[in-house]
């Protein structure tokens, strides 16, 4: 079959499906129409808030004149491919967000395990404290880090008093350490909330059987619990990694590490205005997020877990 015949067959199938959806004659076709109607608001929102902006980004990244959107040029993409500054920013973003994701998910597993497996005192207060950072904008998180680890920060002053070291030498709010803590502080509750839902689906009988056969708590967790929560860990990693890539307010205040979101802001600022490069970075950013999501979803399905 030629390419033209294949395309024609595809068009006929689409037309037939659309006709059956519009005028169903069987129960299966009526069910498809109900699903299509229920999905219609999503597709409208996706088109307005997703596909149209992405199309505009493509046009801006390829425009020769970004003011009047005239002409075509690959200059922005050549800049991304050849300028080592952007390659360094991409690498900084990947390793920094990846490390923050690993730490956040690890802490999320520990916190979710403690909340679900033990009767903790003041459990509601603990849950509220863990989930509280979700409601905080990134700028507020940055201010909290400065209040704790800045030159006049509470932790900085306390350590300086005990050790006799200068506050200026101890301050780390605007160092990469402070930014990393800000990321982890924002990402841990997201990982924890996802993992708590996963723990609710654990087969507790398998854990009890392992303990009755003489397995220690650690052996039970490693050989029984961990394989069962693996889909939740994958889901939490996807969520935290995507959220980490999108953090802007925190990195804008604590500018100690050049990452993609800060670089896009720079390209949109007066004096370094390059909207075509910013659009190209945004498109690469979207592609990376979608690729990571689909790659991670391979490990989310519960039926892929072997115990």
Contacts of 238-241 with C-beta under 8 Å, sequence gap 24+, read 238/292, 238/293, 238/296, 238/297, 238/300, 239/190, 239/191, 239/194, 240/100, 240/101, 240/104, 240/105, 240/108, 240/187, 240/190, 240/191, 241/97, 241/98, 241/101, 241/292, 241/296
How remote is the C-alpha of 177 from its chain's centroid?
20
Tell me how far apart the alpha carbons of residues 237 and 219 are, in angstroms, rounded to a whole number. 23
Tens of pLDDT, residues 30-88: 787 788 888 888 888 888 888 888 899 999 999 988 878 888 999 999 999 899 999 99
CA angle 201, 202, 205 (to 5 degrees): 130
| Residue appearing with tokens 């993409």 | 77
**Which pLDDT score is estimated for 31?**
83
Question: According to the model, what pLDDT value does residue 303 have?
Answer: 45
Q: What is the pTM of this model?
A: 0.81
Both structure tokens of 103: 């730490």
Structure confidence by residue, pLDDT tens digits, 75-90:
999 999 899 999 999 9
What structural domains does the chain harbor?
1-61 (no CATH), 75-304 (1.10.3720.10)
pLDDT value for 189: 94
| pLDDT means over runs of 10, the chain (307 residues) | 65 69 74 82 83 90 86 91 91 95 95 87 86 89 92 87 82 89 94 89 82 84 87 90 91 89 86 88 89 75 44
pLDDT recorded at residue 304: 42
Q: Provide the sign of the torsion angle of the four alpha carbons 223, 229, 235, 237, taken in this order.
A: negative
Backbone angles phi, psi at 25, to 5 degrees: -120, -15
| Separation of alpha carbons 99 and 88, rounded Å | 16
What does the pLDDT read at residue 122?
A: 83
Give the model's pLDDT for residue 18: 67
**133 half-sphere exposure, CB direction, 13 A CA radius:** 25
For residue range 255-269, list pLDDT tens digits in order.
Answer: 888 898 888 888 888
Which residues, 6+ apart, have CB-to-CB distance to 223 below 8 Å? 210, 215
3-class SS string, the chain: CCHHHHHHHHHHHHHHHHHHHHCCCCHHHHHHHHHHHHHHHHHHHHHHHHHHHHHHHHHHHCCCECCCCECCCCHHHHHHHHCHHHHHHHHHHHHHHHHHHHHHHHHHHHHHHHHHHCCCCCHHHHHHHHHHHHHCCHHHHHHHHHHHHCCCCHHHHHHHHHHCCCHHHHCCCCCHHHHHHHHHHHHHHHHHHHHHHHHCCCCHHHHHHHHHCCCCHHHHHHHHHHHHHHHHHHHHHHHHHHHHHHCCHHHHHCCCCCCHHHHHHHHCCCCCCCHHHHHHHHHHHHHHHHHHHHHHHCCCCHHHCCC
């Amino acid at each position: 079959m030629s390419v033209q015949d294949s395309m024609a067959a595809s068009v006929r199938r689409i037309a037939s499906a659309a006709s059956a959806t519009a005028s169903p004659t069987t129960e299966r076709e009526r069910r498809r129409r109900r699903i299509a109607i229920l999905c219609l608001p999503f597709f409208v929102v996706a088109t307005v808030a997703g596909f149209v902006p992405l199309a505009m980004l493509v046009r801006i990244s390829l425009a020769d004149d970004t003011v009047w959107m005239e002409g075509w040029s690959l200059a922005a993409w050549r800049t991304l491919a050849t300028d080592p500054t952007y390659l360094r920013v991409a690498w900084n973003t990947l390793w920094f967000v990846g490390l923050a994701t690993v730490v956040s998910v690890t802490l999320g597993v520990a916190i979710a395990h403690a909340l679900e497996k033990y009767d903790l005192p003041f459990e509601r207060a603990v849950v509220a404290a863990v989930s509280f950072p979700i409601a905080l904008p990134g700028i507020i998180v940055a201010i909290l880090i400065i209040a704790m680890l800045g030159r006049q920060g509470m932790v900085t002053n306390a350590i300086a008093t005990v050790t006799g070291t200068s506050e200026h030498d101890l301050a780390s709010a605007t160092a990469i350490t402070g930014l990393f803590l800000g990321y982890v502080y924002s990402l841990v509750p997201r990982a924890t909330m996802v993992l708590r839902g996963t723990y609710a689906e654990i087969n507790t009988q398998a854990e009890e059987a392992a303990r009755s056969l003489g397995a220690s708590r650690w052996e039970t967790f490693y050989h029984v619990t961990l394989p069962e929560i693996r889909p939740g860990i994958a889901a939490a990693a996807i969520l935290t990694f995507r959220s980490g890539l999108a953090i802007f307010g925190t990195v804008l205040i604590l500018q100690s590490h050049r990452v993609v979101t800060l670089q896009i802001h720079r390209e949109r600022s007066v004096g370094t205005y390059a909207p075509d490069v910013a659009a190209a970075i945004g498109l690469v950013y979207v592609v990376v997020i979608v690729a990571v999501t689909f790659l991670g979803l391979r490990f989310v399905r519960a039926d892929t877990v072997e115990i």
